[in-house]
């Protein structure tokens, strides 16, 4: 290239860039040298050795750039030839050959093939055994490069390397005199442990040997003859070896001592070399909720509570330090920041706003990187991809790396930072490989707690976050803390804040609450002190994880207020990743335990509150119509008249999110726009999607505030659905579904929203008319994006039933036609969403009496029940249950036309499909049996009389009986008992005389006495109390069996080993008492002797529970038991009157005994209930 440039300049022309050499040309030097080497024969003469030396030197000094054109097989062939030329007696040549192997494999990133690997491994192992000890360092480096990603191919050499007297075991032993050799041996072991997906893994005995070697190395303090950098590399290699073992998924830390020992060394090494800190750890950490002894020397405790964050440095001084560092070159950048920070890549690094997770620092869990920062095969070089712009954001506390300390001290600091990062990466892998309930036993060892007065702050992950000079290490610590917090909701739910400090001990709940508060305090300190955008992103993500899992309903107020006020300035940060994470955090706040009064107040704050301290961060918001240039029609004017007056103060967060979604981006905060389309006038996609997600959270948790913006949000959705990007459309559809669901919740019968505070139906009709006249139908028919179609179907199913009936008829027809059409979709997501939507529509009052619509829906659902996808079948079964509920509602109306017009053939098909679905998986089966009960209830005498129905009815009832008895999910059995009760309600069925009667009663009595789940027992007792005539209970023996089973069930109503079932025991006794009284009110003369026998044995127990039943409160259970004491009292009186009217045979004393029993119950009840009830009882008599 230089010659070409010189030639160009001599001819007088402008210097031109020489054309790049082709890969073929680039590898010419290697091929020439390789050909010369391959032409040689083994020669032990001095000249032959000299020639080999020279060729090796030339091969090592040859330039191998990116795309060098050298084939991996050529490299392997050359190395095998080189080994054949070098006898093991020539130590210097063996050393040079080892350097060549290490250099070529690392520089060219070659993984040696299995055949050549076999030869090369045999050679290097023999070399270690036969050559002088001074060559061992180079040979081990070559061995590390050979085994990198080749561990599974080294099986036959493992006994020589890792056996009891294996080479690596000897060379890595603590007794090894040369620290460099020991480090290189550990490096080889770590590379052997590196797993490659799809290839066999290291066998368990060798895994355990390596793990113990790594653990011992980490536990051993630095010897006096080892320099700091070698010690750091030794620790790094051990940590990466353990991380490889854990990431392979085969290493299970099941022993408490093993896990405790690992966590102890990880805690020690994660603080390795941290300035001003030196901790001593026990050999093993044991799981305990109590804080463990940290053992910090008293001389190190110089900083006070107020100085937990990194101290601020004068700006002038800071700039001088930075100027010096820039003059020193880029080496210090890498050393001060760790291996590499991942900066956002414009246009490519799309964030996933659903998970709230951007790209992580590269050191954590990345197994494709070489060990010890060494390229593909594990060589010890340092990467230099950290940009100067992100280096400028390094915390000022990194001024420790100044010229005064010299280059070596700076290098040591860099290696120490890498050890801390390696320990944190290994800790992250450990967290992922153990159960969370095991991890939380070590909570107090890694998560800070509020220090006692006069006590130092405990050393924890927050110590690194607040004090570590490397932004990458801080980010790693935050990532580990996030992993600990993720999924911790159940563990943290025990927290309880209390001001009672006068206890002899601190309860576990108070300790966890204290830890949560300290986490909030420390993370907010870190937020203020942080200057690196990448680390800032991790802090905010960690806060979002903390907020999502903390039980704020059990904690004192103000924690969320502090987070809320601190995060506001970052909404307009220059880095888009920070802005996205800030919105994620706000979304977490408005979705945790919603609605919280504290958050309600925060949402009502004025727009400028908490933002005045940062002009660049202030959201530029205008009056309510700020984002529309012109009214879009009559909708908004009418909306202003009919909107309910809920809150006079506008919600700044809703306005902010709307502005992010619809307004053009501002220049002041458009930097680092990862994920934005080139030339887009709007904010980056990740930011807009996160804003839509926050709006959806607000609609779900704080609908009373969101409803004020219903029409504005409608226009936002209208705009989103009309955009080209499917992800924006999808989030718009999700927001529409949440708004629709919020409107439905307001109009539910049990809603606590006052009628004048609800969104008027007229406004809801306007809202949905706007949606259906806009791009929503297009989204529904967008078959290129099935996820969008499914989401649009879900949105369509959230139309308020009261509003649907008022929609224009063409819009109603559009909804129905689209849904019935989409039911034929080949996509499972779309089909499942459509089936569910049809199941919602069939319950609409304006549609459920339309026989044609119900029949069309039934046919569509029956088709979906045959789908291969279990999710589609589950949704279809749920919809079939709803459809059969509609049949029952129509049956109970005075007009019999629906029953008469509904096709008997379709009814038969529905029964057959429900029977088949009852044999499916539990999630399908639970609704299939519900449908069977409703269908059998719906059958009219005209159906039952037909022979074609007789067999299917028998099969349906047998299906229900078997489902009641099988050991399926409790939801399935509950629905089966409920369905059986519905069967008993059909007077046209031959209950009492049919052969299946006894089978049905036997199944229910078995469940009521022995089922572990009390809710299933309650439902079976309810079913047993449904038949309205004595003949429905069958023979005297059958009646006696039911009666005895209910008495036994009453006796066993407190027998359970699961304390969670105890809360249902009162409801169970209530239902059993109701069933017993019902049976008494129907008893015949021949039944009395059986009843008396039971009362003679268990009369006192039955009497006490019936008295409890009479005196119990007015709570309604799910079986519809009588509300008031008067209703319950009347049931007993009815039973007494019936028994007294029974014509018993002469000399039979059973009737009198039963009457005496009931009269005694009423007397005791009246006497204990006060004069008013007694007077009522007398008047009734």
Render pLDDT for 559-584 as a digit per residue (tens, 0 to 9).
999 999 999 999 989 999 999 999 99
Of 40-49, 239-248, 377-386, the poorest mean pLDDT is in 377-386
Looking at the predicted structure, is the pLDDT value of residue 799 above 80? yes
Give me the percent of the chain exceeding a pLDDT of 90.
52
Residue 324 has a pLDDT of: 38
Helices (H), 896-995: 897-901, 904-917, 922-938, 941-944, 947-965, 970-984
Q: Are 617 and 573 a contacting pair, CB within 8 Å?
A: yes
Higher pLDDT, 205 or 1115: 205
Spell 1124-1157 as b/e; 16+ CB within 10 A means b. ebeebbebbbebbeebeebebeeeeebbebbbeb
Alpha carbon separation from 29 to 60, 130, 541 (Å, rounded): 11, 33, 51
pLDDT band at 326 (very low <50, low <70, confident <90, very high): very low
Segment 901-956, tens digit of pLDDT: 899 899 999 999 999 999 999 999 999 999 999 999 999 998 898 889 999 999 99
Cβ atoms of residues 620 and 666 within 8 Å: yes
| Residue 522 CB partners (closer than 8 Å, separation 6+) | 308, 448, 462, 465, 466
Q: Residues 6 or more apart from 908 whose CB is under 8 A from it?
A: 948, 949, 952
Higher pLDDT, 455 or 286: 286
77-86, 782-791, 877-886, 1034-1043: which has the minimum mean pLDDT? 77-86
Kindly state the percentage of the chain with pLDDT values over 70. Answer: 79
* CA gap 1024, 1046 in Å, rounded: 9
Rank 352-366, 404-418, 445-459, 973-987 by mean pLDDT and report only the highest: 973-987
- Six token digits for residue 834: 């459509």
Determine the average pLDDT of the residues in 1037-1051: 94
Average pLDDT value for the chain: 81
Question: What is the band of 150 on the pLDDT scale with cuts at 50, 70, 90?
Answer: confident
Q: Summarize the confidence of residues 125-148 as an average pLDDT.
A: 92
pLDDT in tens, 989-1031: 999 899 999 999 999 999 999 888 889 999 999 999 999 999 9
More confident residue, 621 or 711: 711
Label residue 74 by pLDDT band (50, 70, 90): confident
- Could you tell me if residue 679 is left (phi over 0), alpha (psi between -120 and 50 degrees) or otherwise beta? left
Q: How many angstroms from the chain centroid is the CA of residue 191?
A: 32
Q: What is the mean pLDDT of residues 68-74?
A: 80
pLDDT of 148 > 80? The answer is yes
Which residue blocks in 530-614 are alpha helix, DSSP H?
533-549, 559-567, 576-591, 597-603
- At residue 199, the pLDDT reads 77
How would residue 498 be classed by pLDDT, with cut points 50, 70 and 90?
low
Q: What is residue 607's predicted lDDT score, i.e. its pLDDT?
A: 61
Contacts of 984-988 spanning 24+ positions with Cβ under 8 A:
984/1023, 984/1026, 984/1027, 984/1032, 985/937, 985/1026, 986/936, 986/937, 986/938, 986/939, 988/939, 988/940, 988/941, 988/944
pLDDT at 1123: 62
Give CB contacts under 8 A, 24+ apart, made by 388-394.
388/326, 388/330, 388/333, 390/337, 390/341, 390/343, 390/532, 390/533, 390/534, 391/325, 391/333, 391/336, 391/337, 392/322, 393/471, 393/531, 393/532, 393/533, 394/336, 394/337, 394/471, 394/531, 394/532
Tokens of residue 139, six digits: 């040979």
CA–CA gap between residue 1099 and residue 438 (Å, rounded): 51
Indicate the pLDDT class of residue 644, thresholds 50, 70 and 90. Answer: low
Judged against a pLDDT cut of 90, whether residue 677 lies above it is answered with no
Is the confidence at residue 486, as pLDDT, over 50? yes
Contact 238, 190 (CB under 8 A): yes
> For residue 276, which of 306, 305, 296 has the smallest C-alpha distance?
296
Can you give the pLDDT at residue 19? 40
For residue 388, what pLDDT is reported? 31
Give the per-residue pLDDT at 896: 84
Task: Copy the structure tokens of residue 772.
Answer: 């259906």
**pLDDT computed for residue 499 by the predictor:** 63
Q: What's the pLDDT tens digit per position in 738-759? A: 999 999 999 999 889 999 999 9
| Identity of the highest mean pLDDT range in 829-833, 939-943, 1143-1147 | 829-833
Average pLDDT for residues 139-167, to the nearest whole number? 89
- Choose the most confident range, by mean pLDDT, from 155-169, 296-310, 474-488, 597-611: 474-488
| pLDDT of 226 higher than 80 | yes
The phi-psi region of residue 945 (left if phi > 0; otherwise alpha if psi is between -120 and 50; otherwise beta) is: alpha
In 3D space, the residue among 675, 634, 951, 874 whose CA is nearest the CA of residue 766 turns out to be: 634
Provide the whole-model pTM: 0.80
323 phi and psi angles, rounded to 5 deg? -60, -40
Cα distance between residue 1053 and residue 632, in whole Å? 64
Instruction: Count the Cβ atoms, other than its own, within 10 Å of residue 435.
Output: 8
As given in the structure block, the two tokens for residue 475 are 């980010």
Look at 344 and 230; give whichever has higher pLDDT.
230
pLDDT surpasses 70 at 11: no
Contact between 676 and 707 (Cβ < 8 Å): no
Q: Is the pLDDT of residue 667 over 90?
A: no
Tokens, residue 302: 């110089």
pLDDT (mean) for 47-63: 87
Q: Using CA atoms, how far apart are residues 843 and 813, in angstroms rounded to an integer?
A: 16
pLDDT given at position 66: 65
Would you say 595 and 634 are in contact if contact means Cβ atoms under 8 Å apart?
Answer: no
The tokens for 130 are 């036969």
Measured CA to CA, the distance from residue 599 to residue 255 in angstroms comes to 44
E strands, 117-193, are: none
Residue with tokens 């052969």: 995
Q: What is the pLDDT of residue 548?
A: 95
For residue 536 the two structure tokens come to 């800032």
Residue 81 has pLDDT above 60, yes or no: yes
Question: What is the crossing angle of helices 1150-1168 and 1088-1111, to 10°?
Answer: 10
- Indicate whether 139 pLDDT > 60: yes
How far apart CA 651 and CA 606 sit, in angstroms, is 8
pLDDT, average across residues 15-37: 61
| C-alpha 622 chain-centroid distance | 37
Residues paired with 682 in a beta bridge: 664
Give the pLDDT confidence score for residue 1082 in this predicted structure. 93
What are the tokens at 105?
């494999």
User: What backbone phi and psi angles, to 5 degrees, belong to 630?
Assistant: -150, 150
Number of residues that this document lists for the chain: 1181
Highest averaged pLDDT of the listed ranges 185-199, 377-391, 412-426, 1134-1148:
412-426
């Amino acid at each position: 290239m230089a010659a070409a440039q010189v030639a160009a300049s001599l001819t007088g022309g402008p210097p031109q860039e020489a054309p790049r050499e082709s890969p073929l040309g680039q590898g010419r030097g290697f091929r020439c040298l390789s050909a010369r080497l391959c032409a040689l024969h083994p020669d032990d003469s001095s000249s032959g050795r000299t020639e080999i030396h020279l060729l090796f030197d030339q091969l090592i000094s040859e330039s191998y750039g990116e795309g060098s054109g050298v084939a991996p097989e050529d490299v392997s062939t050359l190395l095998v030839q080189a080994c054949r030329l070098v006898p093991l007696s020539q130590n210097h040549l063996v050393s040079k050959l080892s350097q060549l192997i290490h250099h070529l494999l690392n520089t060219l990133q070659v993984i040696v093939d299995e055949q050549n690997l076999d030869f090369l491994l045999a050679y290097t192992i023999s070399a270690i055994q036969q050559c002088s000890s001074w060559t061992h360092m180079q040979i081990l480096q070559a061995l590390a490069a050979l085994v990198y990603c080749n561990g599974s191919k080294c099986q036959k050499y493992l006994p020589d390397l890792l056996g009891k007297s294996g080479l690596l075991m000897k060379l890595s032993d603590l007794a090894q005199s040369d620290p460099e050799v020991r480090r290189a041996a550990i490096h080889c072991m770590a590379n052997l442990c590196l797993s490659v997906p799809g290839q066999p893994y290291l066998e368990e005995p060798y895994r355990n040997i390596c793990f113990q070697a790594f653990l011992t190395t980490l536990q051993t303090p630095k010897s006096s003859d080892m320099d700091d950098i070698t010690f750091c590399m030794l620790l790094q290699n051990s940590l990466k070896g353990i991380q490889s073992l854990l990431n392979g998924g085969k290493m299970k830390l099941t022993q408490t001592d093993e896990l405790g020992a690992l966590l102890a060394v990880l805690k020690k090494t994660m603080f390795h070399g941290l300035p001003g800190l030196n901790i001593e750890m026990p050999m093993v950490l044991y799981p305990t909720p109590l804080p463990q002894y940290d053992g910090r020397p008293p001389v190190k405790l110089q900083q006070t509570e107020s100085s937990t964050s990194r101290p601020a440095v004068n700006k002038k001084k800071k700039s001088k330090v930075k100027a010096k560092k820039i003059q020193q070159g880029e080496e210090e950048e890498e050393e001060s920041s760790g291996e590499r920070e991942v900066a956002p890549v414009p246009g490519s690094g799309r964030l996933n706003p659903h998970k709230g997770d951007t790209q992580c620092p590269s050191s954590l869990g990345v197994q494709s990187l070489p060990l010890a920062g060494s390229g593909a095969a594990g060589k010890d070089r340092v990467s230099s991809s950290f940009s100067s712009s992100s280096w400028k954001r390094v915390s000022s506390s990194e001024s420790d790396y100044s010229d005064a300390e010299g280059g070596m001290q700076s290098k040591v600091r860099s290696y120490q930072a890498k050890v801390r990062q390696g320990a944190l990466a290994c800790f992250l892998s450990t967290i992922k490989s153990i159960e969370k309930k095991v991890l939380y036993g070590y909570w107090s060892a890694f998560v800070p707690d509020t220090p006692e007065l006069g006590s130092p702050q405990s050393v924890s992950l927050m110590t690194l976050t607040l004090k570590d000079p490397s932004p990458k290490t801080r980010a790693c610590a935050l990532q580990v803390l996030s992993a600990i917090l993720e999924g911790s909701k159940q563990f943290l739910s025990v927290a309880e804040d209390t001001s009672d400090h006068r206890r002899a001990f601190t309860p576990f709940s108070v300790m966890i609450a204290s830890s949560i508060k300290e986490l909030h305090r420390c993370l907010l300190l870190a937020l203020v002190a942080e200057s690196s955008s990448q680390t800032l992103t991790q802090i905010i993500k960690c806060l979002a994880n903390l907020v999502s899992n903390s039980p704020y309903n059990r904690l004192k107020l103000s924690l969320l207020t502090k987070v809320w006020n601190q995060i506001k300035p970052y909404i307009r940060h220059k880095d888009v990743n920070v802005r996205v994470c800030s919105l994620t955090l706000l979304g977490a706040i408005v979705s945790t335990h919603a609605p919280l009064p504290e958050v309600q107040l925060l949402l009502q704050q004025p727009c400028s509150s908490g933002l005045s301290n940062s002009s660049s961060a202030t959201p530029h918001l205008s009056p309510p119509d700020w984002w529309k240039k012109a009214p879009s029609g009559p909708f908004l004017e009418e909306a202003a008249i009919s909107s309910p007056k809920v809150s006079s103060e506008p919600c700044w967060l809703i306005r902010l999110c709307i502005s992010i979604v619809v307004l053009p981006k501002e220049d002041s905060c458009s930097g680092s726009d990862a994920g934005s389309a080139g030339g887009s006038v709007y904010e980056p996609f990740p930011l807009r999607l996160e804003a839509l997600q926050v709006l959806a959270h607000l609609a779900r948790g704080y609908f009373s505030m969101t409803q004020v913006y219903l029409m504005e949000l409608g226009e936002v959705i209208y705009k989103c659905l009309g955009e080209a990007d499917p992800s924006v459309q999808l989030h718009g559809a999700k927001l529409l579904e949440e708004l629709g669901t919020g409107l439905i919740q307001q109009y539910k019968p049990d809603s606590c929203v006052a009628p004048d505070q609800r969104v008027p139906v007229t406004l809801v009709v306007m809202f949905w008319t706007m949606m259906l006249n806009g791009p929503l139908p297009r989204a529904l028919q967008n078959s290129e994006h099935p996820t969008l179609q499914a989401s649009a179907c879900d949105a369509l199913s959230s139309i308020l039933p009261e509003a649907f009936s008022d929609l224009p008829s063409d819009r109603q027809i559009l909804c129905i036609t689209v849904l019935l059409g989409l039911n034929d979709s080949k996509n499972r997501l779309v089909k499942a969403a459509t089936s569910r939507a049809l199941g919602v529509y069939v319950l609409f009052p304006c549609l459920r009496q339309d026989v044609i619509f119900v029949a069309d829906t039934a046919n569509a659902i029956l088709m979906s029940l045959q789908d291969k996808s279990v999710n589609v079948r589950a949704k279809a079964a749920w919809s079939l249950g709803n459809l059969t509920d509609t049949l029952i509602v129509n049956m109970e109306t005075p007009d019999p036309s629906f029953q008469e017009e509904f096709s008997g053939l379709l009814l038969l098909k529905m029964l057959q499909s429900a029977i088949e679905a009852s044999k499916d998986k539990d999630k399908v089966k639970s609704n299939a049996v519900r449908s069977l009960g409703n269908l059998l209830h719906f059958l009219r005498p005209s159906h039952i009389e037909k022979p074609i129905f007789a067999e299917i009815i028998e099969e349906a009832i047998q299906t229900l009986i078997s489902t009641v008895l099988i050991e399926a999910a409790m939801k399935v059995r509950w629905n089966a008992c409920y369905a059986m009760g519905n069967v008993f309600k059909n007077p046209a069925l031959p209950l009492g005389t049919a052969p299946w009667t006894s089978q049905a009663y036997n199944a229910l009595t078995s469940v009521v006495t022995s089922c572990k789940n009390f809710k299933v027992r309650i439902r079976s007792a309810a079913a047993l109390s449904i038949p309205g005539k004595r003949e429905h209970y069958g023979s005297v023996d059958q009646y006696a069996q039911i009666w005895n089973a209910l008495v036994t069930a009453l006796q066993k109503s407190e027998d359970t080993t699961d304390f969670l079932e105890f809360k249902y025991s009162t409801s169970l006794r209530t239902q059993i008492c109701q069933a017993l009284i019902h049976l008494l009110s129907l008893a015949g003369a021949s039944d009395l002797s059986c009843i008396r026998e039971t009362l003679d044995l268990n009369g006192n127990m039955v009497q006490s529970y019936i008295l409890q039943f009479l005196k119990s409160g007015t709570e309604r259970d799910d079986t519809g038991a009588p509300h008031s004491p008067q209703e319950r009292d009347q049931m007993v009186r009815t039973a007494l009157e019936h028994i007294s009217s029974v014509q018993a045979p002469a000399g039979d004393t059973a009737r009198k005994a039963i009457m005496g029993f009931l009269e005694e119950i009423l007397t005791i009840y009246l006497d204990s209930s006060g004069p008013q009830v007694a007077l009522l009882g007398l008047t009734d008599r």
